Amino acid sequence: MKLICGIDDAGRGPVIGPMIIAGIIIEEREIEKLKEIGVKDSKLLSPKQREEIYKKIIKLVKDYKIIKIPPKEIDAAILSGRTNLNWLEADHMAEIINYLKPEKTIVDCPSNNISKFSRYMESKINVNTSLKCDHKAERFYPVGAASILAKVTRDGEIEKIQKMIPYELGSGYPSDPITKKFLKEHGDKYPDIFRKTWSTYINHKEAKKQKSLKDF
């Protein structure tokens, strides 16, 4: 029976915490069972629903792999001049495929240029798999399952960071007012949790610098 892999990410946009990439592998005949346990795009589920379905997914699938990409690695990739966020994701997605060894792979493509992203991924894959990269790929149940694993893991990482910090940091997304307030008031105390190449963080540092010059 054909082995199918689904891969998705979570936490691509936040200024705080890691990005997560998750992949699952399942026999083609078992895919309908993902639907039966409630798998769908993680954004359509509540945190409690995601956590409950997460436990069912890891019992149902043949195998899975989750990769956590810390802010430091994200910043290094962006500053390197040799790669970017899309290629960083592709590298780790290929790592998951090489580990799981599926016969068919469906990836939620983070790039606007699907064909270019697909070609790059194919250059990094060393197993024989049929690769399909697509936008909104969560509609395919294996990708939806990976989406849930990634999102639950990302939420867990933010919870770990929050437990270490006595201030509310919010979701970590730049648009979150709580995250903005935390960055402005306490960001300098916890530099390691931030993606320093994000404009939100850069603008904060620039504003601090301008304020210091005025004080001087």
The model's pLDDT over 31-53, given as tens digits with 9 standing for 90+, comes to 999 999 999 888 889 999 999 99
CATH of span 165-215: 1.10.10
Of the two residues 205 and 123, the one the predictor is more confident about is 123
Indicate if the pLDDT at residue 213 is higher than 90. Answer: no
The pLDDT score that the predictor gives to residue 205 is 86
**Residues whose CB is less than 8 angstroms from the CB of residue 160 and which lie 6 or more positions away in sequence, other chains included:** none
Q: Which superfamily, per CATH, for 3-162?
A: Ribonuclease H-like superfamily/Ribonuclease H (3.30.420.10)
Convert the pLDDT of each residue in 92-129 to its tens digit: 999 999 999 999 999 999 999 999 999 999 999 999 99
| SS3 of the chain: helix, strand, coil, percent, to 5 | 55, 15, 25
Tell me the domain boundaries of the chain: 3-162, 165-215
User: Would you state the pLDDT for residue 44?
Assistant: 87
Q: Report DSSP state, residue 97.
A: H
Please give the sequence-ordered ranges of beta strands (E in DSSP) within 16-148, or none if there are none: 19-27, 63-69, 104-108, 130-134
